[in-house]
Structure 1
Amino acid sequence: MMKKRLFCSQASIQIENTVKNTNLSKKWRIKQVKKSNFSQVLEEMKPHISNSDFIAVSLQKTGSYSSPWQRVLPFDTPEIAYLKAKRSSENFQLLQFAICPFTLRASKLTAYPYNFHLFPRDELKFGVPSYTFACQTSYLTSMARLGFDFNSCIYDGISYVSRAQESSMKRHSGNSMLRANAVQALPATSVADAVYIERIRSRIKTWKSACKDSKRLQEDPLVKALRKVVLGEHGSRPCLDVDVCSERQVQLVLELMKEHSDDIVPLLIPTKRGGIQGLRMVLTSSKEDKILFEKELQDLEEGQVKNIRGFREVIDLISASGKPVIAHNSLDDFAFIHSKFLSSLPRSIDEFKHSLSSYFPYIIDMGHLMNEFNPSGTMNNMPAASSFLRNRFFAPIDIDIPLKGTPDEMNEGKIHGHNVLQISHLFAKLYSIVKRGQQHINEDNSLVLKNFANIFDPCSSPLENFDEDVRISSGSMIRLSCDDIVFLWGFRSGLSAGDLKTLLCRSHEAFSAEFDVKLVDKSCAVVAFRQPGLAGAFINAMGSGGACHEGLMELIAEGLRSANYETYKCVCNMSKWDSNLADSLDQVMMSADQFPVDSYERSPYEIWWDDNTVLNLDDV
């Protein structure tokens, strides 16, 4: 009903199509952010994020997959798609991260686009973490054609660490003092504890007396300097270092320091391996001086933390804002975001969703939003989607970009980060159309877009009464069970999908009914049977060596092998990421006794087959 109401008249279509395309992308100016201007831009963008309606993101990576079959394919279940996205994020790296907070008022889009140039490095020389990553030449070539400066990225790119890495670096840092937290109630002390406490109490009492006596004396400068060496000094304040041999002793000393809480501030002295080697007692001159010293410590810690976080400060700002985040490929993009800026990715997609929701509660995937207008799923890129909308709906959007900066900051003449503006512009069109179809709903963005949020399946939707289904396309879309899919390898090198289909037609009666053949890579093909039960009959015939099927026996003799969909799932679950899918399937088949293929749970999701994203080697 919504589509019928929103389809514009032919006259309005013609009016919009007659408006000259002024090539807005040439006028779009995106602020380029590097290490040299990062601190300034961070303060500038804080109000833009807090006052925005939505935040669009676009990532530029060093690659996505090492072999054709390792990318997300139309017949992948959500679990498999997640495992592939997980592998990609763990192997490749981010070099650009574009962010665009924007507001949408009627048909006016006010955008604040920033493109951050990233390069991971060990800024503080902690040795944690150690960065290595792969590169896909086609990705780097594409960036080079757009004028990307790799030297500038390496030397002036912004570094970053994840939340988990930050915690690890704090534990392993021996370069800074740490404020001691309040000690919890200790269990009953032993005789040894009592002796240790009295020894430290006496030492602290003697030290404080000596410090106070030195303040009353008018000493010779040389004597005064020697006294500072003997008594110790932290900045301009006297200090005393107390060595400890265990966590128990740390707690005992901190409990003792409650007696001196008016004028002494205890600091922990960490080791390089993450333990505590001692405590430093810093003596302040008054209550006001104690407050001032604690404020100095807090500022120092915040400065150190900011240096450690780097670009993750921006991720934390977006997370804290709670604003809806718009992405073009949310599963892949947020696998990278989780891996690089939060923590290591969990094993399953359900754990991933749960973990991510605590940081980003509202994520909208442009692909799923486009499916509302084009269920065939052929709009897999932004230019095609924009053209589709322009020809069918009247939804003009004016873009205003108030950002200002130097020519170098705005990177005039280049298009680094322009994808994030295209996402924002396309989303604004879709949002205005969806909102017109839901006029009974108020201005609350979450209500208007609630059906499109937090969907991470690859162009899929949950099913109520179906097992895992896939869609196989040969000009039309149909739904098939994963039980009707078979993987084949070991056929003659150089065979096209059409040639293989011809050979199969003569090999077994299962191929007398309608079926499709697609090459996944040069070593392996996937066969989809339209009629239920035929895949199982073919697999059984292969297992019997092709008995009673002369054509099939010949193919088996030439090396043809087969596997069902569960074997393919095992390949991904067991991380058998060989360059050829055939090699990975062989490994799993050989270890089938140890890893039974039916041990993995079935998940009730619908999976879409999109010819535009399937590698068809017939066309290569």
Structure 2
Amino acid sequence: MYFRRYLCSQTAAAHRRRYLRPVKQVVKSNFSETLAEIKESIVSSDFVAVSLQKTGSYSAPWQKCLPIDTDETAYWKAKRAAERFQILQFSVCPFSVKASKLIANPYNFQLFPRHEVKAGMPSYGFLCQSSCLASMAQEGFDFNACIYNGISYMSRAQESAATVQTRSVLLNGGGLLSTSALSVADVIFSERIKTRVKNWMNGCNNQHKTGDYLISSLRKLVERSENYGSRPSLTIDVCSERQVQLTSEALKEFVNIVLVRPLAKAGVEAVQVVLTSSEEDKNLLVKEIQGLEEEHRRLVSGFREVIDLISTSQRPVVVHNSLNDFAFIHEKFLAPLPPTTNEFSSSLLSVFPHILDVNHLMKELGLFDEMNNLSSAISYLDSRFSASIDMEVSYEEKTDCVDVHGHSVMKVCQLFVKLCSILKISLEIPEGGHTQLPALLQCSSNMLCSSDVRDPCNDDVRIWTSKSRTVSLRNLVFLWGFRRGMSAQDLKDVLCNSHDVFSEEFDVKMVDRTCAIVVFWTPGVSKSFLGIMDSGECFSNKLENMILEGLKAADYETYRRVCKSDLWKPNLAECLAQATDETVVFSGAKMQQEKSVICRNNDEMINLDEL
């Protein structure tokens, strides 16, 4: 009952009016009128901040991006989340900094995926994480309004597929085919089309002379003549794209007709010939059809219009968590995510050439663990640096008429401007200079993964968020199968003095409650430890008992295989055990297959020369 009350509209209204600065709320009913407004805001601003509210991000602690993740494993985690969860709110804030004042234009778009156009596309489905929904409900989010009035969208890839199925475009006659490429069948088809259209046009012109209504109706039925609005039209069925081109080419000599490709029904292709009364009437019809096509296109693309506006403007995009947010943006609005991080970066940066993550700017100050929450990060900077920022919000509607949602994007703006002020980075961009960022910002741009700050040839990772010390992946060992409730310190106490390999410096950190990583700070020791575990060499009694109880160990490559696979489980230990077992089974199967091939080659090969 408590949760149901959270989901109702009345409860949502009670949580409003908390903030002084309003954010324009955009839903399906006011989306069209907002497009022109936000386009002007983007063009007149120097930066665009974005913030996303999703139905979930990860299902288990180890599935979120961790300090131990490389670019590759972090991308696979972000990719998995983007493919399974959904965006419900997308906040956009074009902003500029003039005379040390932040001028913001915040908008909050409520989204809900649905098919506005019946295009035969697969139905939408996504996962919801209960903690995320509960948090949104506590903030007063109106799920009813989102479902019924949220803005739909299609990605560019989906729209391309839908356009093929729902295309309704004007056909321009002539210049499509070379006469030398026409076959006899093509010529016969073209002549039949010409004759049919000519007879139909004569019938339309002589219709007022025919007194018998029955004869006129029968003629329309036989000729498949109907009306396109108030104008007479004729439908010509075609079997292929070539016949569409032949029809268009054949009818180019008819001046007062307009050719339209209507919506395909049940796989039947057709060309519709519309008769106009004059050149002026023809131009008017063409404009009407183009207007309908534009409206249809906007209906299909939905919110992606905003994404296209941001992309076209080439403005730098400021975010709080670039990898996760842009994985969602790519998956939902551009195309399915590619398999590798390099392909992802290449695809994304072709659309958004300048991406700025406040996390990376924070690291420029040597701060690693203060970024879990935007509000706490702003408070942290306010308490340690003198960087007060005045904000001016151009949208000045009464606060009692405006929802409180979408304020996270304003915090992203504030944090970004504060960090740049502390780092002495000027944000006053000269007119026409949006493609050239200040040098310090240029160095911090387009770092989609947390490890991008490192040398790309270096395989070192950090273990603790709050410390900058790094370690090679080759010096990490994953441990699982220990007793429930053991802490990192408990494991370290057991490992200490259990064998000579632990005489060197090492640390232990829990990944989740079922798995820990052992960090060997001396190169080569991790390999020795794994070899000893495989050989069954004696350890101390405590560790020996833990091994007998099921303690297992694996290197980073096993963790990498887990992140790449589709069989993710809530506990990392189960995943590592499965990956280890699959490796053994695969190796055995491969050896058996090779043996089988050798036997077949020796005993079952047929020598054609002997036949």
TM-score bin, normalised by smaller chain: 0.7 to 0.9
Which residue is 2:437 aligned to?
447
1:299 is matched with: 291
Match of residue 502 from structure 2: 511
SS in 1 for 2:423: helix
Residue 139 of structure 1: aligned partner: 132
User: Could you tell me which amino acid in structure 2 is paired with residue 419 of structure 1?
Assistant: S
8 Å CA contact 2:369–2:465 kept in 1: the answer is: no
Which whole-Å CA distance do the structure 1 matches of 2:458 and 2:60 have between them? 29
Q: Distance in 1 between matches of 2:380 and 2:324?
A: 24
Amino acid at match of 1:584: C
1:438/1:131 Cα in 2 relative to 1: closer, same or farther (>3 Å)?
Answer: closer
CA deviation vs aligned residue, 1:440-464 (integer Å, no higher than 9, x gap)? 9999563312112111012541317
* Alignment CA distance shift 1:157-1:483 (3 Å): same
Matched letter for residue 62 of structure 2: W
Deviation readout 1:313-357 (Å, 9 max, x if unpaired): 211211111111110001101111111111111111111111111
| Residue 487 of structure 1, aligned match among 461, 472, 478 | 478
Contact 2:256–2:277 at 8 Å: present in 1 too?
A: yes
**Which letter maps to 2:406?**
G
Say if 1:77 and 1:265 are closer, same or farther in 2 by CA, change over 3 A: same
Q: Does 1:422 align with 2:411?
A: yes
Using the TM superposition, give the Cα deviation of residue 181 of structure 1 relative to its aligned residue in structure 2, in angstroms: 6.0
User: Who is 2:99 aligned against?
Assistant: 106
Instruction: Flag the 1:460–1:375 CA change in 2: closer, same or farther, 3 A.
Output: farther
Question: 316, 319, 328: which one pairs with 1:327?
Answer: 319
Q: Output the CA distance in 1 between the equivalents of 2:270 and 2:127.
A: 42
Q: How many residues align?
A: 564
Q: Which residue of 1 aligns with 2:250?
A: 256
**2:535 alignment counterpart:** 544
Secondary structure of 1:27's match? coil
Residue pair 1:58, 1:419 contacting (<8 A) in 2 also: yes
Counterpart residue type for residue 100 of structure 1: C
Q: Aligned partners of 1:408, 1:306: CA distance in 2, in Å? A: 31
2:39 partner SS: helix
CA distance in 2: counterparts of 1:348 and 1:191, whole angstroms = 51
1:499 corresponds, among 490, 493, 498, to 490
Match of 1:259, SS state, is coil
Q: Specify the alignment match of 1:608 in structure 2.
A: none
Deviation at 1:474, TM superposition (A): 9.6
CA distance in 2, matches of 1:418, 1:140: 17
| More displaced stretch, 439-448 vs 480-489 | 439-448
Matches within 5 A, 1:461-476: 461-463=453-455, 467-473=458-464, 476=467
Question: CA–CA distance in 2 between the matches of 1:459 and 1:339?
Answer: 22
Structure 1 residues 332, 364: CA separation in 2 closer, same or farther (over 3 Å shift)? same
Q: Distance in 2 between matches of 1:41 and 1:440?
A: 26
C-alpha separation in 1, matches of 2:159 and 2:268: 18
How far apart are the structure 1 equivalents of 2:19 and 2:427?
34
Match of 1:242 in 2: 236
Per mean C-alpha deviation after superposition, the further-off stretch among 549-558 and 31-40 is: 549-558
Within 5 Å, give how 1:281-292 maps onto structure 2.
281-292=273-284
Cα drift, residue 246 of structure 1: 2.8
Equivalent pair of 2:165/2:264 in contact (CA under 8 Å): yes
Q: Which range is displaced more, 399-408 or 316-325?
A: 399-408
Which of 285, 309, 324 matches 1:317? Answer: 309
Partner residue, 1:575: 566
Residue 264 of structure 1, CA deviation: 2.3
Is the contact between residue 367 and residue 380 of structure 1 (CA under 8 Å) also seen in structure 2? no
Offset at residue 287 of structure 1 (A)? 2.3
Instruction: Tell me which amino acid in the other structure corresponds to 1:180.
Output: L
Whether the 8 Å CA contact 2:177–2:246 is kept in 1: the answer is no
Counterpart selection for 1:92 from 66, 85, 95: 85
Aligned to 2:12: none
1:434 aligns with 2:423: yes
Q: Secondary structure at the match of 1:587?
A: helix
- The 3-state SS of whatever aligns with 1:420 is helix
Q: Measure how far apart 1:309 and its partner are.
A: 1.8
2:381 aligned with 1:389: yes
**Which of the residues 152, 155, 159 maps onto 1:159?**
152
Distance change (3 Å), C-alpha of 1:593 and 1:184: farther
Rounded to whole Å, the distance in 1 between the matches of 2:334 and 2:583 is 35
After the TM superposition, which of the residue ranges 513-522 and 560-569 deviates more from structure 2? 513-522
Shift of 1:32: 1.6
Q: Cα RMSD (Å) of the superposition?
A: 2.8
SS in 2 for 1:294: helix
* CA distance in structure 2 between the partners assigned to 1:144 and 1:306 by the alignment: 31
Cα distance change of structure 1 residues 250 and 595 upon mapping to structure 2, 3 Å threshold? farther
Partner SS state of residue 364, structure 2: coil
> Matched residues in 2 for 1:128 and 1:150: separation?
25
Asked if residue 403 in structure 1 is aligned to residue 395 in structure 2, the reply is yes
Q: 1:111 to 1:595 in 2, by over 3 A?
A: farther
Summarize deviations over 1:132-185 as a string: whole Å, max 9, x none.
Answer: 111111111111111111112112222222111122222223xx7332366643
* Unaligned residue ranges in structure 1 (runs of 5+): 1-23, 597-620
Contact 1:240 1:281 in 2 (8 A): yes
TM-score, length-normalised on structure 1? 0.84
Moved more, 495-504 or 187-196: 187-196
Q: Which amino acid aligns with 1:507?
A: S
SS of structure 2 residue aligned to 1:591: helix
State the SS of the aligned residue for 1:243: strand
Task: Select between 284-293 and 434-443 the one with higher mean Cα deviation.
Answer: 434-443
**TM-score of the superposition, structure 2-length normalised?**
0.85
SS in structure 2 at match of 1:389: helix
Query: What per-residue deviation string (whole Å, max 9, x for no partner) do you get for residues 344-379 of structure 1?
Result: 111111111111112211110010011111244544
Match status 1:591 vs 2:582: yes
1:362: which partner in 2? 354
Report the secondary structure of 1:58's partner residue: strand
Aligned partner of residue 592 in structure 1, secondary structure? helix
> How big is each residue's C-alpha offset from its partner over 1:178-233, in whole Å with a ceiling of 9 and x where there is no partner?
32366643562333333222222222222222223336x37577766666555332
Distance 1:467 1:424, change over 3 A: closer
The 2-side partners of 1:195 and 1:476 are apart by: 79
In structure 1, C-alpha distance between the alignment counterparts of 2:60 and 2:360, rounded to whole Å? 26
Query: Aligned partner of 1:344: which letter?
Result: P
Q: Which moved more, 1:50-59 or 1:288-297?
A: 288-297
Q: Which amino acid aligns with 1:554?
A: N
Tell me by how many angstroms 1:37 deviates: 2.1
Match of 1:179 in 2: 170
> What secondary structure is seen at the aligned counterpart in 2 of 1:388?
helix
Aligned residue for 2:609?
Answer: none
In the alignment, structure 2 segments of 5+ residues that lack a partner are: 1-16, 588-611
